[in-house]
């Protein structure tokens, strides 16, 4: 028996807006095959995702929105209503069977939640999840249904547990924040690139919740071009303070890997070193405060060849208390995918850094991030 489950099915690859859209779930297959070629993931670890029911989607989403997504996926939603539901943009265009394929993503996260909360396993991951921009009645930022928000409400409704949501995607998790902005039973922590230059433009330090939920939203906006040392310093100290203060029953984490300097959609300057450490930090918090109960899901990450598979492998390594392999990337994996990749696939677990750009004002950026950290730490003294 294994104490960790990996949620996966190739059916998840059908969540695809178009062949030219940057959100490409091929990265799931690349990561899964890399782990299997390493011999650290087997069929015994894998649970297939189920499809979320309409009732489960309605824990967060409005019924008319769900019906609109069903119609859009069958080509029967009038184009005049596309904008109303967020389907008129290049970010979230209509695609065939979009309801069924989006509900499968949500169901995958709920499968992971049930595996952990029922006691079947201590922790689980579903790298196909992490669609944190979806709103109650509108698609946004590559996200149709918000599996993170549905999972949090599902945990509250079915298991009556306190949830700490940790979001380390480069983009602010706006859909989750606004779903629970007045809810005192969810702690929402998001560390991200400042919205000054990056979608969705929210996630300011001053957004702290409202009403009974005031104080249960913590945003950590970092300056563009933040590097490893500053990122890890701010993340470790603030997330530990939040966790110690809130004392959650379970952690749900979004593991976007678009903070990497090679990501084409963002402006942070972190390397694989930081991406490798993040899931271990979250796992340590779960071990310390939640008897190990943690569900890790995916998120952003748009360099699917050189960044995502190696970074997401460390989510699985962390959950299984494994370290970065000393051996190179398996030749079998490289030979399987090199013909499809537009760039040479990596042969080791370290960044080459040949194209890493030093930022002249790094001291200024780090000082600004440090000030943000100290303002947050003041809240939890």
- Report how far residue 354's alpha carbon sits from residue 356's, in angstroms, rounded to the nearest whole number: 6
Sheet strand arrangement including 186-193: 46-47, 4-7, 123-126, 294-297, 250-254, 163-167, 186-193, 217-222
Instruction: Please name which of 147, 62, 66 lies closest in space to residue 106, comparing C-alpha atoms.
Output: 147
- Report how far residue 208's alpha carbon sits from residue 375's, in angstroms, rounded to the nearest whole number: 13
**Catalytic sites, residue numbers:** 133
- Residues 80-109 have a mean pLDDT of 97
Sign of the torsion angle spanned by Cα atoms 231, 237, 241, 244: positive
pLDDT, the chain, mean: 97
pLDDT digits (tens, 9 = 90+) for 303-336: 999 999 999 999 999 999 999 999 999 999 999 9
- Report how far residue 70's alpha carbon sits from residue 72's, in angstroms, rounded to the nearest whole number: 6
* DSSP output for 165-216: EEE-SSS--HHHHHHSTT-TTEEEEEEEE-TTTSTT----TT----GGGTTS
With a threshold of 0.95, does the pTM exceed it?
yes
- Report how far residue 317's alpha carbon sits from residue 342's, in angstroms, rounded to the nearest whole number: 27
pLDDT digits (tens, 9 = 90+) for 119-177: 999 999 999 999 999 999 999 999 999 999 999 999 999 999 999 999 999 999 999 99
- Report how far residue 248's alpha carbon sits from residue 82's, in angstroms, rounded to the nearest whole number: 39
- Report how far residue 69's alpha carbon sits from residue 257's, in angstroms, rounded to the nearest whole number: 28
């Amino acid at each position: 028996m294994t104490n960790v489950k990996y949620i996966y099915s190739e059916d998840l690859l059908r969540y695809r807006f178009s062949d030219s859209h940057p959100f490409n779930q091929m990265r799931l297959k690349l990561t899964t095959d890399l782990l299997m070629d390493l011999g650290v993931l087997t069929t015994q670890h894998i649970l297939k995702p189920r499809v979320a029911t309409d009732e489960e989607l309605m824990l967060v989403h409005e019924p008319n929105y769900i019906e609109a997504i069903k119609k859009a996926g069958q080509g029967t939603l009038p184009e005049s209503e596309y904008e109303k539901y967020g389907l008129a943009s290049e970010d979230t265009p209509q695609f065939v069977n979009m309801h069924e394929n989006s509900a499968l993503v949500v169901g995958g996260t709920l499968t992971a939640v049930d595996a952990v909360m029922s006691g079947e396993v201590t922790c689980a991951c579903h790298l196909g999840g992490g669609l944190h921009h979806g709103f109650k009645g509108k698609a946004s930022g590559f996200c149709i249904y918000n599996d993170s928000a549905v999972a949090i409400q599902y945990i509250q409704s079915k298991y009556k547990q306190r949830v700490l949501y940790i979001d380390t995607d480069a983009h602010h998790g706006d859909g989750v924040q606004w779903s629970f902005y007045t809810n005192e039973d969810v702690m929402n922590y998001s560390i991200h690139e400042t919205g000054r230059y990056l979608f969705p433009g929210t996630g300011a330090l001053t957004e702290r919740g409202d009403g009974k939920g005031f104080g249960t939203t913590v945003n950590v906006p970092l300056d563009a071009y933040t590097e490893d040392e500053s990122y890890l310093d701010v993340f470790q100290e603030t997330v530990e303070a939040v966790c110690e203060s809130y004392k959650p029953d379970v952690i749900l984490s979004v593991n976007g890997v678009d903070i990497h300097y090679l990501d084409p959609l963002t402006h942070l300057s972190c390397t694989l070193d930081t991406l490798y450490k993040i899931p271990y930090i979250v796992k340590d918090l779960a071990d310390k405060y939640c008897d190990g109960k943690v569900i890790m899901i995916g998120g952003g990450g748009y360099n699917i060849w050189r960044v995502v598979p190696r970074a997401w492998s460390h989510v699985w390594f962390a959950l299984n208390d494994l370290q970065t392999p000393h051996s190179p990337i398996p030749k079998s994996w490289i030979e399987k995918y090199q013909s499809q990749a537009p760039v040479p696939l990596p042969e080791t677990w370290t960044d080459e850094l040949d194209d890493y750009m030093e930022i002249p004002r790094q001291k200024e950026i780090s000082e600004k991030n440090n000030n943000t950290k100290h303002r947050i730490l003041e809240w939890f003294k």
